[in-house]
Amino acid sequence: MSYTNGTSGSVTPDTPLDGILPVHPTAARRPHYINVQSENTLYDDEHITSKFYNRGASVSVTDGHITVVPKAEEYQFRTKRNVGKTGLMMIGIGGNNGTTLCATILANRHGITWHTKQGLEQPNYIGSLLRASTVSLGTSDNGKEVHVPISDVLPMVHPNDLVLGGWDISGATLNKAMERAQVLDYDLQRQVAPHMALLGKPLPSIYYPDYIAANQEARADNLIPGNDKQAHLEHIRADIRKFKRDNDLDRVIIFWTANTERYSDIIPGVNDTADNLLNAIKNSHAEVSPSTLFAVAAILENEPFVNGAPQNTFVPGAIELAERHKSFIGGDDLKSGQTKLKSVLAEFLVNAGIKPLSIASYNHLGNNDGRNLSAERQFKSKEISKSSVVDDMVNANRLLFKAPEVGPKGVPIGKGEHPDHIVVIKYVPAVGDSKRAIDEYYSEIFCGGRSTINIFNECEDSLLATPLILDLTILTELLTRVQYRKVDQQEDFAPLYSVLSLLSYMLKAPLVKPGTDVVNSLNRQRNALESFLKACVGLEGNSDLLLDTRLW
Catalytic residue among 18, 152, 168, 333, which? 333
Q: Work out whether strand 450-460 and strand 434-444 pair parallel, antiparallel, or are unpaired.
A: antiparallel
**262 near 377, Cβ under 8 Å?**
yes
Distance of alpha carbon 544 from alpha carbon 526, whole angstroms: 14
Check if 435 is active-site: yes
List helix spans (H) across 363-482.
368-373, 376-387, 391-395, 461-479
Check if 355 is active-site: no
Contacts of 417 (CB under 8 A, 6+ apart): 394, 401, 402, 403
Bridge partners, residue 51, by sequence: 76
**48 near 78, Cβ under 8 Å?**
yes
Distance of alpha carbon 368 from alpha carbon 460, whole angstroms: 13
373-386: burial string, b at 16+ Cβ within 10 Å, e else: bebeebbbbbbbbb
**254 near 303, Cβ under 8 Å?**
yes
Catalytic residue among 229, 244, 335, 382, which? 382
Cβ-based neighbour number of residue 470 at 10 Å: 23
- Alpha carbon 179 to its chain centroid, in Å, reads 26
**355 near 400, Cβ under 8 Å?**
yes
* Amino acid code (one letter) for 204: P
The full 3-state SS of 11-53, as one line of letters, equals ECCCCCCCCCCCCCCCCCCCCCCCCCCCCCEEECCCEEEEEEE
Classify burial at 176, counting beta carbons within 10 Å of its beta carbon; exposed 0-12, middle 13-18, buried 19 or more: middle
What DSSP character marks residue 204? E
Instruction: Write the Ramachandran bin of 151: left for phi over 0, alpha for psi from -120 to 50, otherwise beta.
Output: alpha
Check if 333 is active-site: yes
**60 near 71, Cβ under 8 Å?**
no
Within a 13 Å sphere around the CA of 529, how many CA atoms are in the beta-carbon half? 26
- Alpha carbon 95 to its chain centroid, in Å, reads 18
Distance of alpha carbon 456 from alpha carbon 474, whole angstroms: 32
Catalytic residue among 335, 340, 342, 508, which? 508
Check if 242 is active-site: no
Per-position DSSP letters for 394-415, written without gaps between them: HHT-TTTSPPPEE-GGG-EES-
* Amino acid code (one letter) for 291: S
Distance of alpha carbon 176 from alpha carbon 286, whole angstroms: 33
Contacts of 528 (CB under 8 A, 6+ apart): 502, 504, 519
Catalytic residue among 244, 342, 435, 534, which? 435
Distance of alpha carbon 184 from alpha carbon 174, whole angstroms: 13
- Mapping DSSP to helix (H, G, I), strand (E, B) and coil, where does residue 341 land? helix
**106 near 271, Cβ under 8 Å?**
no
Known catalytic residues are 333, 382, 435, 508
